[in-house]
Amino acid sequence: MTDRQFEEGTTLDRFLMETMRATPGATGHFVNLCQSVALAGKMISARVNRAGLAGLLGETGEVNIQGEFVQKLDRYANDTFIRALEHRGHTAMVVSEEEAEPVLVPSRFQSGRYVVTVDPLDGSSNIDVNATIGTIFGVFRRLTDEGTNADLTDVLRPGDEIVAAGYIVYGSGTLLVLGTELGVNGFTLDPTVGEFFLSHPNIRIPKGKTYSCNEAYSLQWPEPTQAWLRRCKEQGWRARYIGSLVADFHRNLLKGGVFLYPATPKSPEGKLRLLYEAFPLAYLAERAGGAATDGRGRILDRVAQSLHDRTPLFIGDPDAVDALTQS
């Protein structure tokens, strides 16, 4: 919310209810959806915290649609997220990084008006070393009639049609960042109470000279992008990169800076996925005063052609994104 003041100690539930009351025509379905996301976030957070003790590190032995080895926590996060969303009547379909095909809500549950895209556990390569990882999600209001099954037309559409997005970071604390048309707000999980409390109201990305990228690939980038990086170094910028998109994005959102993952000869379409990584974070960046492009144009102007489309990504500080897009 940009125009409301919330008291200290405002829970996510209270925030959502007050936001709903101030939104004409709101039915409560979106509030229920956010509550389901928060429940999944708490459950995943608890599992992440205990993973080293509970035999939950390492791989399952499966390979996912991306050709990557599935980690045990990837599988847990995926299943938990889908189970949390499927039964409350707000969601019709989930598109997940870990699922080759869209997952329809089982027919024994009421189907809903939203379609959710999710990267259940972003930064999988950091799971086994206790570095920050996270869940990224985006929400579309479905186009197809609620009386029918949702289908691909409900997600293969412009990023601009996202109605809400967010992420949960599992770091030194667990934080849920939620973006809607009303703004971007952060909620910290108090594990002693089991609730998310508003801790970062109305987030706006500050100016900051930090770049986040895998610099080891920089010699493979287009020359103008390399030239931009050289200029940053001459101008005294700093580098921060953990290799979890959600963590790198989060730091830049709070501290200022830009994240870039350009195309390389190995990943000519870029590495990051459009529907459940780039779209949600681009939505959040723009609502927090930042920008996001694929190096040519605005990310949210893109239209997904298939579920697991990839894209180059330049996201964060609007001036830096602008410079990188024109470079």
Q: What is the DSSP letter of 232?
A: H
In whole angstroms, how close is the CB of 221 to ligand AHM at the nearest point? 13
Only one residue has tokens 């996060």, namely: 77
* Residue 74 found at the interface with Mg ion (CB under 5 A): no
Residues that bind ligand AHM in the complex, under the rule CB under 6 A: 68, 97, 119, 122-124, 214, 243-245, 271
Is residue 86 a contact point for Mg ion (CB under 5 A)? Answer: no
When the beta carbons of 22 and 65 are compared against Mg ion, the nearer one is 65
Q: At what angle do helices 29-50 and 12-21 cross, to 10 degrees?
A: 160
Residue 243 site contact among Mg ion, ligand AHM, none (CB < 5 to 8 Å, cut-off depends on kind)? ligand AHM
Classify strands 210-212 and 258-261 as parallel, antiparallel or unpaired.
parallel
Q: What is the CA radius of gyration of the chain?
A: 19
Q: Which is nearer to ligand AHM, 150 or 315 (CB)?
A: 315
- Of 115-123, 160-168, 170-178, 207-215, which part binds Mg ion (CB under 5 A)? 115-123
Q: Which residues pair with 11 in a beta bridge?
A: 197
Q: Which residue from 119, 154, 286, 317 is in contact with Mg ion, where contact means CB under 5 A?
A: 119
At residue 296, the 3 state secondary structure works out as coil
Number of residues assigned to the chain: 327
Report the alpha-carbon distance of residue 204 to residue 233 in Å, rounded: 25
Nearer to ligand AHM (CB atom), residue 150 or residue 245: 245
- Nearer to ligand AHM (CB atom), residue 93 or residue 133: 133
Residue 288 to residue 168: CA distance in whole angstroms:
16
What is the smallest separation between the CB atom of 245 and ligand AHM, expressed in angstroms? 3
Residue 144 contacts which entry, Mg ion, ligand AHM, none (Cβ below 5-8 A, type-dependent): none
Which of 116-124, 152-160, 187-195, 310-318 is the region at the interface with Mg ion (rule: CB under 5 A)?
Answer: 116-124
Minimum CB separation from Mg ion for residue 163, in Å? 22
Q: Check if the beta carbon of residue 290 is closer than 8 Å to that of residue 321.
A: yes
Which one of residues 74, 86, 122, 309 is an interface residue with Mg ion (CB under 5 A)?
A: 122
Nearest-CA neighbor of 191 among 45, 9, 52?
45
Phi first, then psi: give them for residue 65, nearest 5 degrees.
-60, -25
CB of 107 to ligand AHM, least distance (A): 30
DSSP 258: E
